[in-house]
Amino acid sequence: MSSDRGVTCSACGATTPLPDDLLVPTFACAFCHGTLSTAAHAGEAAVSADALVGHIERLAADPKAAMANLDESVRSAPRFEGGSREHREGTCVHCRAPVAVPLDLAVRELTCGACGRAQFVREHISDEERFRLDMARQVAGNEAYERLLAEGLACPKCGGHNPVPDDGSVQLICKFCRAAILLSDHVDESAIARHRLKHGVYAVRDELMRQQQGRQRTIGIAVAVIVVVVLGALIAANLLAGGS
Ligand SMILES: [Zn+2]
Ligand SMILES: [Zn+2]
Ligand SMILES: [Zn+2]
């Protein structure tokens, strides 16, 4: 399995782990101390999952204020970048030149490279078909991820078999040779990011439960805010894009 976009340092070629906090925009190679981009290595989707969890943590710190401004709480949520990266071949509706039609539900328009004119994606593929394709993509990604959790994976460097923890990690360190292994080299990165988001949201909820034992009403409000914001962000990214 290739790991050409993995945690191989672009400066010195050594294998270096990602930072635990994916929201730091850059991190240093453990060997040559060169500066590396977190998003380029961890994937935009995982970074956006952490940004959304950070937003929820801030809201959960003051759930009554978040509830009082629920519209703003939802609107200011960072976008979850878990959409499809795939395209389908099409022809421009104006000049008939070939165009790449994005299957990411959050993208509504495309611009023809030949004539420069904009057109709606739904002039090429219906919202219903795109939605169906995206559901199939997400289900396939989740199944591959579940298989990875169940079976573990072989280290690309030494071949040693490693278990994959179900904790939303984006990488693991080989227990035999200490190489950093990126899970997105083995399964779709948006499936990893969805699980990372789920684990992050559960962690915020569990922390609330611990801190606020006996303050049932506040917890109830906080959990309601979390649900609304997460659903809002997922819907904005994936489900309602075809509208207007
Ligand atoms: Zn380096
Ligand atoms: Zn055109
Ligand atoms: Zn290894």
Please check whether residue 31 lies inside any domain of the structure.
yes
- Cα(171)–Cα(181) distance, rounded to whole angstroms? 5
Alpha carbon distances (Å) from 4 to 125, 178, 203, 229: 33, 18, 32, 36
How far does the centroid of ligand 1 lie from the alpha carbon of residue 14, in Å?
6
pLDDT at 172 over 50: yes
How far does the centroid of ligand 1 lie from the alpha carbon of residue 16, in Å?
7
Please check whether residue 10 lies inside any domain of the structure.
no
- Strand, coil or helix: what is 118? strand
Ligand number nearest CA of 177 is 3
- Strand, coil or helix: what is 36? strand
- Strand, coil or helix: what is 240? coil
How far does the centroid of ligand 2 lie from the alpha carbon of residue 90, in Å?
11
128: containing domain: 26-239
| pTM passes above 0.85 | no
pLDDT at 44 over 60: yes
Ligand number nearest CA of 95 is 2
Query: What pLDDT is recorded for position 1?
Result: 33
Query: What pLDDT is recorded for position 235?
Result: 65
- In which residue are the tokens 């795939």 written? 86
Average pLDDT over residues 17-33: 86
How far does the centroid of ligand 2 lie from the alpha carbon of residue 213, in Å?
61
Q: Give the pair of three-digit tokens for residue 25.
A: 């925009």
pLDDT digits (tens, 9 = 90+) for 182-211: 999 999 999 999 999 989 988 888 887 777
Please check whether residue 11 lies inside any domain of the structure.
no
| Cα within 13 Å of Cα(162), Cβ side | 24
Q: Is residue 181 exposed (0-12), middle (13-18) or buried (19+ Cβ within 10 Å)? A: buried
Please check whether residue 17 lies inside any domain of the structure.
no
Ligand number nearest CA of 180 is 3
Please check whether residue 149 lies inside any domain of the structure.
yes
Indicate the pLDDT class of residue 106, thresholds 50, 70 and 90: confident
* Residues 176 and 160: beta-carbon distance below 8 Å: yes
Query: What pLDDT is recorded for position 209?
Result: 77
How far does the centroid of ligand 3 lie from the alpha carbon of residue 4, in Å?
16
Indicate the pLDDT class of residue 101, thresholds 50, 70 and 90: very high
Give the total number of structural domains in the chain: 1
Indicate the pLDDT class of residue 241, thresholds 50, 70 and 90: very low
Give percent of the chain above pLDDT 90: 43
Query: What pLDDT is recorded for position 38?
Result: 87
Indicate the pLDDT class of residue 41, thresholds 50, 70 and 90: confident
Please check whether residue 5 lies inside any domain of the structure.
no
Ligand number nearest CA of 119 is 2
Query: What pLDDT is recorded for position 238?
Result: 55
Please check whether residue 36 lies inside any domain of the structure.
yes
Please check whether residue 2 lies inside any domain of the structure.
no
Indicate the pLDDT class of residue 136, thresholds 50, 70 and 90: very high
How far does the centroid of ligand 1 lie from the alpha carbon of residue 190, in Å?
27
Average pLDDT over residues 108-116: 96
- Of the listed ranges 34-38, 201-205, 209-213, 237-241, the least confidently predicted one is 237-241
Strand extents, DSSP E, the chain: 26-28, 35-37, 87-91, 98-102, 109-111, 118-120, 153-154, 161-162, 171-173, 180-182
Q: Give the pair of three-digit tokens for residue 119.
A: 């057109």
How far does the centroid of ligand 1 lie from the alpha carbon of residue 17, in Å?
11
Query: What pLDDT is recorded for position 154?
Result: 96
How far does the centroid of ligand 3 lie from the alpha carbon of residue 14, in Å?
14
- Of the listed ranges 60-64, 75-79, 138-142, 215-219, the least confidently predicted one is 215-219
pLDDT at 123 over 90: yes
DSSP state, 15? B
